[in-house]
Chain A
Amino acid sequence: MYSDLLSLIRTKEEASKTAEQLETILAALYQNSPEALNLALSKKIDTELSRILKEAFDKGVDKIKFLKGAKEIIGELREITLTIAFEPREETKTLLAGWVRENLGEGVIVELKKDEKVVGGAIIISQGNYRDFSLRTKIKEFFKTQRNELAIFLK
């Protein structure tokens, strides 16, 4: 029922934005005027989301129930936090979200954080589990474990 809607959401940022837009539509519904709803659907939310909602409403679903259900599902999405060293481009976001969806299922979104200190790689946090696959840690480990070899090499 909501798979089209969920396909729009790749990151935590997008999840909060979608939830806000659904709230706008709900507010318009409470005004009890078709004009207000049409105005909100056409001008106040993203085109793609508007299309999905219109399609759903045309099927005759209970609008309020549908919107509330959608909000609830968005709130329940599992988050995976990725701390990376650069600002991701749209393609990167899509790639990451695609990988996550493919491997972990539909109800998972990515929260992307930028921290230049990680240098490369990523720090992954999922449901309280923490894994550091960053280049910074690898370099640190390298200097810690192979300090002597490095010193001999530099001599």
Chain B
Amino acid sequence: MKDLSYYLEKAQEIGFVEQIIHSVIYASGLPKVRPYELVVFEGGQVGQVISLSEDLVEILLLSKVNVRVGEKVARTETYLTVGVGEALLGKTVDALGNLISGRTPKTALSQRPLVTTPLGIGYRKNIDKSFETGVSIVDLAIPLGKGQRELVIGDRKSGKTLFLQQVVLTQAAKGTICIYASIAKRWFDTVSTAQFFRNYGVEKQVIMVVSGPAEAPGLVFMTPYTAMTIAEYFRDQGKDVLVVLDDMTAHAKYYREITLAARRFPGRSSYPGDIFFVHSRVLERAGNFVKGSITCLPVAETVFRDFSGYIQTNLMSMTDGHIFFDGDLFNQGRRPAINEFLSVTRVGLQAQTPLVRDINREITRFMLYFDKLRQYMHFGSELSQETRRAIALGERIVAFFDQAPDMIIPLNVSTIILAALWAGFWKEVDLTIMKNQMNSLLAYYLKDQNYQKKIEKMIAASNSLSALSALLKDQEKVISEAVGAPERG
């Protein structure tokens, strides 16, 4: 961006800062300035016009350095754009697209407007491709589709970010462009996330758009828009893109700060009336398109498991389901602490194979039954053999769903292990041994391509969980060759 004198000469209009309220600045002058136009201050700071009154122009400051009353301000006659291109891959940028880490891109970036109208229905199509997360419980119990908007909701420190990192890892390995928007996160957390991607060698598929908590609120506000603008560039090239918005409750808080400073009328919980519009305007830009897809995983933070808050319910209503991270489950030691009973996927199932759909149906039904049985167990009643068997299977499924944060389980492996459990494999084995053998099966699958083909063939030949279980019972060797000799009752 050029300096003030350049823009004064160009636009031949000047304004003077009259009043400063936090990050909102009121300036006189600038007679022909337009809403959303960028303006430049004497000290080089940049601002965006948010509204106009008869005498004053309301400007949102997008720079960290404050301006002073009496300073000059000039029109730029341009709107907020962000540089996009392949060269951004592997880079970390701020909300204005300026590089934070990495070398300056060699190839030129093309400029795209930050705020656009989402593509209409003519450019969209139904969710028809499965979106693998690499997390068994999600892939089987709450499966997602490419282009889905799935809210990730839960208390602080309940493992949301770890889950998102797993998803990025899985998708980046499959060639999906991943854009991770870190909104008002502590720098330490942002750096840890970037380090995670680097350690697992997927950083070339990831673009991080970050804003720290001490940034100008205007910049924090722009962060998800920037992420979505970059995503749209790749989508237009026909690529599949994953956008993680971590997190939108912080985004809402910063927007509340801006609007209260701008003296907008406060609504529920002091949020402005247009907070729903502000969030839906971002999320509407995701979806499955005729050309490419943008899968969006916005994050919402809850307090003490209460997901009936204003922003949380707003986000729920504008997404295609939610994955609930339960603080209680986390405290019980479940990893990931996903509560499958309180989680929802609205369009994900339609993108799955008949087998996965059947597994989902069976597993949901069975886990509900298992949960009821566990509650019944508290009465200390004598249990029938059938009930004891169901409880043992339930405990094994729960143990199978326990997954380390750096472990990626392909959908085929999740499917085959679950079918094996269903068929009675590992019935009499200690849980630790079972987990070890499952890990051996995963390692064997990843190593041996012939084994992969064999599994794929079995899965392709089965249309239901019972069919796959029956097939496994007939071909016990498929499991035993990978894990040694699993016990089966």
The residues of A with any CB-CB pair to B shorter than 8 Å are: 125, 127-132, 137
Q: Is the CB of B12 within 8 A of A127?
A: no
Interface size class of B (residues with CB under 8 A): 10 to 19
Is B143 at the interface (CB under 8 A from chain A)? Answer: no
**Which B residues touch A130, using CB under 8 A?**
8, 11-14, 74
Is B382 at the interface (CB under 8 A from chain A)? Answer: no
Question: Which of A128, A131, A132 is within 8 Å of B15, CB to CB?
Answer: A128
Question: What is the CA–CA distance of A127 and B55 in the complex, to the nearest angstrom?
Answer: 10
The residue on A at minimum CB distance from B15 is A128
Question: What is the CA–CA distance of A130 and B12 in the complex, to the nearest angstrom?
Answer: 5
**Which A residues touch B12, using CB under 8 A?**
129-131
**Which B residues touch A129, using CB under 8 A?**
12-14, 31
Q: Is the CB of B30 within 8 A of A128?
A: yes
Question: What is the CA–CA distance of A127 and B31 in the complex, to the nearest angstrom?
Answer: 7
Per-residue CB contact flags for chain B residues 19-42 toward chain A (1 = under 8 Å, else 0) read 000000000111100000000000
The residue on A at minimum CB distance from B11 is A130
**Which A residues touch B14, using CB under 8 A?**
125, 128-130
Beyond A130-B11, A130-B13, A130-B74, list 18 extra A-B contacts (CB 8 Å).
A125-B14, A125-B29, A127-B29, A127-B31, A128-B13, A128-B14, A128-B15, A128-B28, A128-B29, A128-B31, A129-B12, A129-B14, A129-B31, A130-B8, A130-B12, A130-B14, A132-B8, A132-B9
Question: What is the CA–CA distance of A130 and B74 in the complex, to the nearest angstrom?
Answer: 10
Say how far A12's CB is from chain B's closest CB, in angstroms: 13
Contact sample, A vs B, 22 pairs, CB 8 Å cutoff: A125-B14, A125-B29, A127-B29, A127-B31, A128-B13, A128-B14, A128-B15, A128-B28, A128-B29, A128-B30, A128-B31, A129-B12, A129-B14, A129-B31, A130-B12, A130-B13, A130-B14, A130-B74, A131-B12, A132-B8, A132-B9, A137-B9
Question: What is the CA–CA distance of A125 and B28 in the complex, to the nearest angstrom?
Answer: 12
**Which B residues touch A128, using CB under 8 A?**
13-15, 28-31
**Which B residues touch A132, using CB under 8 A?**
8-9
Say how far A125's CB is from chain B's closest CB, in angstroms: 6
Give residues of chain B (46-74) contacting chain A, Cβ–Cβ below 8 Å: 74
Question: What is the CA–CA distance of A140 and B13 in the complex, to the nearest angstrom?
Answer: 20
The residue on B at minimum CB distance from A81 is B14
Question: What is the CA–CA distance of A130 and B11 in the complex, to the nearest angstrom?
Answer: 8
**Which A residues touch B28, using CB under 8 A?**
128
Q: Which has the most chain B C-beta neighbours within 10 Å: A125, A128, A129, A132?
A: A128
Question: What is the CA–CA distance of A45 and B111 in the complex, to the nearest angstrom?
Answer: 61
Closest 7 pairs between A and B when the two form their complex, measured CB to CB: A128-B29, A130-B14, A128-B31, A130-B12, A128-B30, A130-B8, A128-B13
Question: What is the CA–CA distance of A128 and B33 in the complex, to the nearest angstrom?
Answer: 10
Say how far B57's CB is from chain A's closest CB, in angstroms: 9
The residue on B at minimum CB distance from A141 is B9
Say how far A128's CB is from chain B's closest CB, in angstroms: 3
Question: What is the CA–CA distance of A131 and B9 in the complex, to the nearest angstrom?
Answer: 8
The residue on A at minimum CB distance from B9 is A132
The residue on B at minimum CB distance from A132 is B9
Question: What is the CA–CA distance of A59 and B30 in the complex, to the nearest angstrom?
Answer: 44
Say how far B15's CB is from chain A's closest CB, in angstroms: 6
**Which A residues touch B31, using CB under 8 A?**
127-129
Say how far A75's CB is from chain B's closest CB, in angstroms: 13
Question: What is the CA–CA distance of A125 and B15 in the complex, to the nearest angstrom?
Answer: 9
Question: What is the CA–CA distance of A129 and B32 in the complex, to the nearest angstrom?
Answer: 9
**Which B residues touch A127, using CB under 8 A?**
29, 31
**Which A residues touch B30, using CB under 8 A?**
128
Say how far A40's CB is from chain B's closest CB, in angstroms: 32
Question: What is the CA–CA distance of A16 and B189 in the complex, to the nearest angstrom?
Answer: 55
**Which B residues touch A125, using CB under 8 A?**
14, 29
Say how far B25's CB is from chain A's closest CB, in angstroms: 15
Say how far B402's CB is from chain A's closest CB, in angstroms: 65
The residue on B at minimum CB distance from A127 is B31
**Which A residues touch B13, using CB under 8 A?**
128-130
Question: What is the CA–CA distance of A155 and B28 in the complex, to the nearest angstrom?
Answer: 50
Question: What is the CA–CA distance of A142 and B376 in the complex, to the nearest angstrom?
Answer: 92
Question: What is the CA–CA distance of A132 and B14 in the complex, to the nearest angstrom?
Answer: 11
Per-residue CB contact flags for chain B residues 339-381 toward chain A (1 = under 8 Å, else 0) read 0000000000000000000000000000000000000000000
Q: Which has the most chain A C-beta neighbours within 10 Å: B14, B30, B31?
A: B14
Say how far B51's CB is from chain A's closest CB, in angstroms: 17
Say how far B71's CB is from chain A's closest CB, in angstroms: 14
Question: What is the CA–CA distance of A137 and B8 in the complex, to the nearest angstrom?
Answer: 12
Question: What is the CA–CA distance of A127 and B29 in the complex, to the nearest angstrom?
Answer: 6
Say how far B7's CB is from chain A's closest CB, in angstroms: 10
Question: What is the CA–CA distance of A117 and B15 in the complex, to the nearest angstrom?
Answer: 20
Question: What is the CA–CA distance of A130 and B29 in the complex, to the nearest angstrom?
Answer: 10
**Which B residues touch A137, using CB under 8 A?**
9
Question: What is the CA–CA distance of A127 and B54 in the complex, to the nearest angstrom?
Answer: 12
**Which A residues touch B11, using CB under 8 A?**
130
Question: What is the CA–CA distance of A125 and B31 in the complex, to the nearest angstrom?
Answer: 12
Q: Which has the most chain A C-beta neighbours within 10 Å: B9, B15, B74?
A: B9
The residue on A at minimum CB distance from B29 is A128
Q: Which has the most chain B C-beta neighbours within 10 Å: A125, A129, A130, A131?
A: A130
**Which B residues touch A131, using CB under 8 A?**
12
Question: What is the CA–CA distance of A125 and B11 in the complex, to the nearest angstrom?
Answer: 13
Question: What is the CA–CA distance of A35 and B8 in the complex, to the nearest angstrom?
Answer: 54
Say how far B53's CB is from chain A's closest CB, in angstroms: 14
Question: What is the CA–CA distance of A21 and B56 in the complex, to the nearest angstrom?
Answer: 29
Say how far B408's CB is from chain A's closest CB, in angstroms: 58
Say how far A153's CB is from chain B's closest CB, in angstroms: 27
